[in-house]
Amino acid sequence: MSAARLPAEHDDQESKKAKKIASPLLGFSDEDKVRIIQPHDDALVVTLRIGGYDVKRVLVDQGSAVEVMYSDLYKGLNLRPEDLTAYDSPLVSFEGKTITPRGQIRLLIQTGSDVVEVDFIIVDAYSPYTAIIARPWLHALGVVSSTLHQNVKYPFEG
């Protein structure tokens, strides 16, 4: 009796399974909550390197589809009106007011050694935050965030 050889596509499936196993598993455990006073309902606020500057009070919002930059940060980064491109869709603020954005700008966000281009919508509105980072940035980096753990994790080689 001779052993049957599986088709080449079976080998491809096996190597894909091996690659999936080798990729890092991102998640949170109770150990990630050690320094966090529980219970809480705090927003997830981080510091990010945006446009070459360390920017504090950046809200991580998994529910938002667009990245937003408030005009105070826009001015603080010394960006000029001619740096903006048109953005015509109105936004609805947290208070339910309709806001017409000043425009859109593409800037680099550096996280560790990873750099991602992000399109920010610039708005003139009050906010305790300097910017809002949303799903496009989270997905581009493969980021997993947790408000419960007050943490953001992303795949990192090594």
DSSP string, 23-48: SPPP---GGGGTTS-SS-----EEEE
Q: 14 lies in a domain?
A: no
Q: 124 lies in a domain?
A: yes
pTM, entire model: 0.72
Q: 49 lies in a domain?
A: yes
Residues 144/32, Cβ–Cβ less than 8 Å: no
Instruction: Name the least confident of 15-19, 44-48, 57-61, 80-84.
Output: 15-19
pLDDT beyond 90 at 156: no
Instruction: State the amino acid at position 96 in one-letter form.
Output: G
- The share of the chain scoring above pLDDT 70, in percent, equals 75
User: How many domains, in total, are found in the chain?
Assistant: 1
Least Cα distance to 109 among 59, 58, 51 occurs for 51
Instruction: State the amino acid at position 3 in one-letter form.
Output: A
Q: Which CATH number characterizes residue 84's domain?
A: 2.40.70.10
Q: 22 lies in a domain?
A: no
Lookup result for tokens 């935050």: 129
Greater confidence, 43 or 129?
A: 129
Domain hosting 63: range is: 44-151
